[in-house]
Amino acid sequence: MNDEIKPPDDTDVTSSAETLDVIELTMDKFLDAADVSAVYGEPIQHGDTIIIPCAEVLSGMGFGMGFGVSSHDSSDEEEGETKRDGGNSANRNEGVGGGGGGRVFSRPVAVIVASPEGVRIEPVFDRTKIALAVLTTAGFMFGMFSRMMRPGRKMYE
């Protein structure tokens, strides 16, 4: 399961209060995904045996917010003077912005089996994770060997 948490599409963020509301809403959705029910599935009864699926849940998130104020100068070309608006809102631009996001990723890792013989944990073998570890190790080793075999390079520099 791979979920991306986004604010609702109908949200118009135009002020800092609305930005904070969107961040709070996104944070609530994100924390809902980090519930114990995301790690342990519903128990399954099969005769005298109860099976409980278990998952690993990984999550990451980030937020940012900022605002700024810019005032423009008006110039009078005939007199060659520059006049400041003195805080007049007609010549003043204000900007507020914010953003954030997060990702939640889960994958099965084990199954708890409770039977009359006892309770045991059966791990789920993940071939993809093993293959990625092997490829990463092979790439690292290839890089180190090719670096060591360069001509004119001392082994210990």
Q: Which helix (H) or strand (E) holds 56?
A: strand 49-71
* Vertex 32: Cα angle to 4 and 10 (nearest 5): 55
Q: DSSP 3-state helix, strand, coil percentages of the chain (rounded to 5)?
A: 30, 45, 25
Q: Read off the pLDDT of each residue in 46-72 and give the average, rounded to a whole number.
A: 82
Give pTM, 2 decimals: 0.47
- 74-76 and 49-71 beta bridge pairing: unpaired
Is residue 43 within 8 A of residue 50, CB to CB? The reply is yes
pLDDT band, residue 114 (cuts 50/70/90): very high
The string of pLDDT tens digits covering residues 80-98 is: 444 444 445 555 667 777 7
φ/ψ of residue 27, rounded to 5 = -65, -40
- What SS3 class is residue 109? strand
Indicate the residue type of 8: P
Q: Note the pLDDT of residue 51.
A: 95
The string of pLDDT tens digits covering residues 117-140 is: 999 999 988 888 889 999 999 999
Check pLDDT > 50 for residue 78. Answer: no
How many H helices and E strands in the chain? Answer: 3, 7
Q: Read off the pLDDT of each residue in 100-113 and give the average, rounded to a whole number.
A: 83
**C-alpha–C-alpha distance, residues 50 and 121, integer Å:** 12
User: For all residues of the chain together, what is the average pLDDT?
Assistant: 75
Q: Note the pLDDT of residue 106.
A: 80
CA distance between the termini of the chain? 47
